[in-house]
Amino acid sequence: MPRTRISGTFSSPKVDLIIDTGNPFLNLTVDGFLKIGCVAATKAAAEEAYYIVKRGSISHHKFEDSLKKMCKEGAYWGTVAGVYVGLEYGVERIRGVRDWKNAMIGGALTGALISAASNKNKDKIVMDAIAGSAIATAAEFINHFT
């Protein structure tokens, strides 16, 4: 039976959301999608709020555009995060080791997949794979040393 739990405190910005699908791979993928998707939607909302304040008014049309942007950004970045988390978990299961190399491989594969889905330039796909690998590895090292 799926269950959810949300908790938060003022002393810590951590919010946990647990979706139990019965499969660890799906649990991590959905968790990554939801958490990063919410962050991206919140970022889009903050940007839109800034522009509304700057303009001094809002119209019904601009409000709808803001909501569409929030949904689009949330879905895009949530998908990227879900793919990354799923691939990193898969690499960990295949290799049988939990280390920074899983992040590096997962980041490279995610960068290549997302890039290949949106363009056909082979050089761009390779560059995005390298960028994804570097970002994921750096994030892993930062989390490890803090």
Q: In 3-state terms, what secondary structure has residue 3?
A: coil
pTM for the whole structure: 0.81
Q: Which two tokens stand for residue 80?
A: 């990227």
The type of residue at 41 is: A
The whole-chain average pLDDT of the chain stands at 89
The answer to whether residues 110 and 83 touch, using CB atoms and an 8 Å cutoff, is: yes
Q: Where are the domains of the chain?
A: 24-94, 97-145
User: Which has more confidence, 2 or 112?
Assistant: 112
pLDDT digits (tens, 9 = 90+) for 89-122: 999 999 999 999 999 999 999 999 999 999 889 9
- What is the number of other CB atoms lying within 10 angstroms of the CB of residue 129? 20
State CA 45 to chain mean position distance: 16
The type of residue at 131 is: A
Can you state the percent helix, strand and coil of the chain, rounding each to 5? Answer: 75, 5, 20
The burial class, CB within 10 Å (0-12 / 13-18 / 19+), for 6 is exposed
Least confident of 8-17, 34-43, 61-70, 88-97: 8-17
